[in-house]
Amino acid sequence: MTNADDRFITVSLDKRGVSCTARLLSDRAPITCDAVWNALPLGGDVYHAKYARNEIYALVPPFAPQEPPLENPTITPIPGDLCYFTFSQTQLGTSSYGYETDAKHQGRTTVVDLALFYERNNLLINGDAGWVPGIVWGAVVDGLDGMADACQDLWRAGALGETLSFRRA
């Protein structure tokens, strides 16, 4: 159900030419939604999760005037969830995460992770840190099947040269 106050964004894998549409969950995560909306467009190199399972994400510089509180948290995101995470540089610094030394987020004190979950059975636990709750700030309302197929291709064929972008619809 939508209303006149709903805000929508387009989430895209740019090189693959695949997009989906998501509705911001302003009623559940108002601070996060406002921060994201005001900063759009956002995006960067895409990564496929190693630990969380069916997740793709981009690491971007912090953009909120103040980092959002943990509103509408989850450790079990469902297909179509858009999640927001904040990490320190040292949290993402070990080689086990697979980030190259020249990754664009290297050297930032704070790193924001904007993620899309595209399939079921996700669990936000990290072997180094334990539970990693995320803020659910959006829900895909159209195009998830095509995006999920592209995410599977990303997993199998590789992410190099691909970007994940978030724009106002």
Q: What would the pLDDT profile of 105-129 be if each residue is shown by its tens digit?
A: 555 678 899 999 999 999 999 877 8
pTM score: 0.91
Share of the chain above pLDDT 90, in %: 76
Identify whether the C-beta of residue 82 lies closer than 8 Å to the C-beta of residue 140: yes
Determine phi and psi for 150, rounding to 5 degrees: -65, -35
CA dist 63 to 39, 41, 100, 112, Å?
6, 11, 23, 8
Mean pLDDT score, 92-108: 57
Q: Do 118 and 54 contact (CB within 8 A), yes or no? A: yes
Question: Would you state the pLDDT for residue 92?
Answer: 64
